[in-house]
Amino acid sequence: MVKYLNIKVKLSIDYSTFRIYCNNNPNSRKVVNIIDLKQSTLAETEHFVSKAGENPYRARQIRQWIFHRGVCDFGSMTDLSKSLRDRLAHIASVTCLKQIGKTESADGTIKLAFELSDSAIIESVWIPEEKRKTLCISTQAGCKMGCRFCLTGKSGFIRNLSAAEIVDQVICARKSVPGGRVTNLVLMGMGEPLDNYENTFKALKVITEPDAGLVGARKITLSTAGVVPGIMKIADDFPRVKLAVSINAPNDDLRNELMPINRKYPLARLQNALKTFPAPKGKRITLEYVMLKGVNDSENNAIELSEFAAKDFPAKINLIPFNPCPGAPFDRPDRPEIEKFRDILVNRGHNVFIRESRGNDILAACGQLSRSIGGRDTA
């Protein structure tokens, strides 16, 4: 319990909106953020509610309001008694992101911007397809990894998001997008999820808790620049969550240049980690490869990438034509060049897709998210 409280105190100071007061002080009270409970499972919320002297059954009602209806004000939870609402308002809180922007692309993609309690700004992107409605969420404000082709990387690192801030992007998006549907989730927005492991883990626990009704583990993809220890951990903690790895360069010399993280976890180590990643039937690791004209798009690069991908793990390869971002000294290759690169891989037996990013016109595509809000604001 002491350890638990320590963690809460640290979180409250560093990242979140909730406050902790010392229990021994008769004039003090403890305010617990319901979404940021240890893992915010139903059982844990029940425990919290019964410790507050209420019937644990109320936990389901409270969670319905928070997760299904996106209500963060206890006063509006009208099927709870007035006294319980008042008591909750006194002892608990719910993180509520402040939406400050909503930009719509010609292709239906919607970029949402949120301001956090300390004024940091993060973005999420909703990508509608015929059946699938995918939400791309952020795990950090900014990113430490410094990949040279990425706007998030170029704008630097501000801080990790708390678990509640990660979860709340899903809840808020459902309130804000047409039809209110989010069927799939990708952790591919701002930041490196495995560089914020503890909070990403907690957020995934909350999101995949069945009664929360958000998104199931099989419909979630986590994208990483290659944080090897995190890959091993996520494989154990969430074997059903899909993994995408941003390769982007098929040899260490080039990868060291484009992605500084490669100096710490070079390609051979990454390859070994991917070999141990569990791959239940039908589940492949996605290798993402941002195509940069004259930098990583040669015939030889395609052969190197094929050799990397042929090492004992089931993989599909997504080729992502570079999305221009201000100040990055790169271009996207011409379409025939990309197709030639793809054909080399296909002829060597790989599953390859060319992924045109959505929401390009509103800077909502891969690598274009940053702390500034651009585009047409319809909020």
- Sorted by sequence, the CB contacts under 8 Å of residue 174 that are 6+ apart come out as 70, 180, 181, 182
Q: What is the spatial distance between Cα 66 and Cα 12, in angstroms, rounded to a whole number? A: 20
Q: What is the spatial distance between Cα 350 and Cα 112, in angstroms, rounded to a whole number? A: 35
SS3 content of the chain, % helix, strand, coil (to 5): 40, 20, 45
- Rounded least distance, CB 253 to ligand SF4, Å: 18
Q: What is the spatial distance between Cα 117 and Cα 342, in angstroms, rounded to a whole number? A: 45
123 is catalytic: yes
Q: What is the spatial distance between Cα 356 and Cα 342, in angstroms, rounded to a whole number? A: 14
Q: Which does 288 bind (CB under 5 to 8 A by kind): ligand SAH, ligand SF4, none?
A: ligand SAH
For the chain, how big is the Rg over CA atoms in Å?
A: 22
Q: What is the spatial distance between Cα 250 and Cα 40, in angstroms, rounded to a whole number? A: 40
Check residue 54 for interaction with ligand SF4 (CB under 6 A).
no
Q: What is the spatial distance between Cα 27 and Cα 85, in angstroms, rounded to a whole number? A: 21
104, 123, 192, 288: the catalytic one is 123
Which ranges constitute the DSSP H helices of the chain?
2-14, 42-51, 58-63, 82-91, 151-154, 163-176, 197-208, 228-237, 252-258, 261-264, 267-276, 299-309, 335-347
Check residue 365 for interaction with ligand SF4 (CB under 6 A).
no
Q: Is the dihedral of CA 117, 122, 128, 134 positive or negative?
A: negative
Site string for ligand SF4, 224-263 (x = CB under 6 A): -x--------------------x-----------------
Q: Which does 325 bind (CB under 5 to 8 A by kind): ligand SF4, ligand SAH, none?
A: ligand SAH
Site string for ligand SF4, 121-160 (x = CB under 6 A): ----------------------x-xxx--x-xx-------
| Residue 3 structure tokens | 């350890």
Closest of 234, 335, 336 to residue 277, by C-alpha: 234
- Rounded least distance, CB 36 to ligand SF4, Å: 24
Q: What is the spatial distance between Cα 57 and Cα 34, in angstroms, rounded to a whole number? A: 15
Nearer to ligand SF4, 104 or 192 (CB): 192
Q: Which does 320 bind (CB under 5 to 8 A by kind): ligand SAH, ligand SF4, none?
A: ligand SAH
Nearer to ligand SAH, 40 or 368 (CB): 368
- Rounded least distance, CB 212 to ligand SF4, Å: 26
Q: Which does 173 bind (CB under 5 to 8 A by kind): ligand SAH, ligand SF4, none?
A: none
Q: Which does 359 bind (CB under 5 to 8 A by kind): ligand SAH, ligand SF4, none?
A: none
Q: Which does 41 bind (CB under 5 to 8 A by kind): ligand SAH, ligand SF4, none?
A: none
Binding interface with ligand SAH (CB under 6 A): 149-150, 188, 192, 223-225, 246, 248, 288, 290, 320, 322-323, 325, 366-367
| Residue 100 structure tokens | 């400050």
At 22 the three-state DSSP class reads coil
- Rounded least distance, CB 369 to ligand SF4, Å: 8
Q: Which does 49 bind (CB under 5 to 8 A by kind): ligand SAH, ligand SF4, none?
A: none
Closest of 262, 280, 269 to residue 225, by C-alpha: 262
Check residue 186 for interaction with ligand SF4 (CB under 6 A).
no
325 is catalytic: no
136, 143, 325, 366: the catalytic one is 366
Check residue 320 for interaction with ligand SF4 (CB under 6 A).
no
**Phi and psi torsions of 281, nearest 5°:** -45, 130
Check residue 192 for interaction with ligand SF4 (CB under 6 A).
yes
Check residue 270 for interaction with ligand SF4 (CB under 6 A).
no
- How many amino acids of this chain bind ligand SF4 (CB under 6 A)? 11
**Chain positions contacting ligand SF4, by CB under 6 A:** 143, 145-147, 150, 152-153, 191-192, 225, 246
List residues with catalytic annotation: 123, 366
